[in-house]
Amino acid sequence: MSKEIRIITYHRAVNNGAVLQSLGLVDHLSKLLPEYRIKILDYRHPKMEVMEFLKILKIYPKKPLFGLQRLLIFRRFQNKLPIDRMPNIFGFWKIVQYLNKLSLKAIFVGSDSIWKFSDSYFLPKIPNIFWLSPKLKSIKISYAASAYQYQENLLPKYRPILSKSVNSFNAVSVRDSETKNLLRKIDCRKEISQIPDPAFFYRIKKTVARDKLIKFGLKPDRPLFALITGYCDYQIKEIINYFRSQNYQIIALSIFNPLADVNLGDELNPEEWAEVFRYFDFCLTDRFHGSVFCLKNKTPFIAIESKNGKIKKSKKYQLLHDFNLQDECYLNLFEKNYSQKLFQKKFANIKKNWQKLIVGKIDSGLKKMERISRRFDKKITKLIK
């Protein structure tokens, strides 16, 4: 009997959350199934590789090589991942044949937005290997898969093949309610579990992140405000000016932002990025995994919407709702009643109640996530063992 298990996910994205969720899932499954060898299948979709390469062409006057340096620091880190390299195979059915030849015990797909589909040139068309195939002989499991912001007008075209694919899975779990609703629309007859993103499983390590903060001129005796958004509109400017008036140093993580004092998106690898949150006094993020690592590090933060859309479809809102923190730590900059005074009121409330009330909610939310994950993990062990 094969003792090999593989994970197919977005491990090659130049995105801290994508890399850390893949590592978190490897670590989690290795604990759950210690007798199996678990690796990430090094599947590289050509168009997605091109998309990541094209990002280096965007030039920022303050840091012209930002995109290139960011790509290089990620590739060096990603080359050390627990991966199973595969030959360059093009074509969905050829990949299916290759996977069958490996005689794997199980294939996991997830997490992240691996099930998203659109008419974008850079996203893989349906059918693609992230939805697997009924012809695969291995046990097939989706782990917190997401189709977040899929292109709904393409659903009639793709519904038959997606329905056939997902109903061939042995166990199905998704990360968000939008994906759960999609599976219902395509007549998924499997039980659908909604579980946390495996980035929560990632174990934060001690790194040189703090040394790098000091190296780039940040003063330990002054408070640090971290910014994870590329937007520079007037709402963001108002927020940054407010923190500057309070003597905060402004740091941009992940995405380049010209309003920051220091940009670290091309200086920290994913491991360092995961730890650096613990040195911040406050964080503003429009990214899902930015919110996840604020929660994991118990860093005071507000998650914002920097694009207009339905709040109930927001993955950040859903995440904070799961922690019962949507009133304290979530803010939609497009709400009609939004104002700088509203932001400052939320910030003051967080400062006042962080240790007294909010940290307790985080602890309760993390325990709740463990219980939810455990229920799905029982299905996995029953299937595989």
Residues 37 and 176 in one domain: yes
* The predicted structure's pLDDT at residue 210: 95
| CA dist., res. 259 & res. 232, Å (int) | 7
What CATH number did the domain enclosing 56 receive? 3.40.50
CA dist list (Å): 55 to 34, 44, 66, 124, 284: 39, 17, 10, 18, 23
Residues 20 and 156 in one domain: yes
Residues 190 and 220 in one domain: no
Residues 84 and 219 in one domain: no
Residues 106 and 235 in one domain: no
| CA dist., res. 69 & res. 76, Å (int) | 11
Residues 142 and 189 in one domain: yes
* The predicted structure's pLDDT at residue 312: 61
**Average pLDDT over the chain, rounded to an integer:** 94
Place of tokens 């995109």: 67
Residues 181 and 219 in one domain: no
What CATH number did the domain enclosing 316 receive? 3.40.50.2000
* Residue 26 resides in a domain: yes
**pLDDT surpassing 90 at residue 25:** yes
Residues 24 and 120 in one domain: yes
Give the total number of structural domains in the chain: 2
* Residue 231 resides in a domain: yes
Confidence of residue 214 (pLDDT cuts 50, 70, 90): very high
Q: Which domain holds residue 304?
A: 209-367
pLDDT mean over 213-241: 93
Question: What CA dihedral angle connects 131, 136, 139 and 143, to 10 degrees?
Answer: -10
For residue 30, the tally of other CB atoms under 10 A from its CB is: 15
**Given 150, 171, 201, which residue is the final one in a domain?**
201
**Given 201, 217, 239, which residue is the final one in a domain?**
201
| CA dist., res. 242 & res. 181, Å (int) | 40
**pLDDT surpassing 60 at residue 328:** yes
224-233, 330-339, 342-351: segment of lowest average pLDDT: 330-339
pLDDT mean over 279-304: 97
* Residue 374 resides in a domain: no
Q: What is the pTM of this model?
A: 0.94
Q: What percent of the chain has pLDDT over 70?
A: 98
* Residue 383 resides in a domain: no
Residues 255 and 192 in one domain: no
Residues 139 and 242 in one domain: no
Rg (C-alpha) for the chain, rounded Å, is: 21
Residues 156 and 245 in one domain: no
Residues 285 and 158 in one domain: no
**pLDDT surpassing 90 at residue 241:** yes
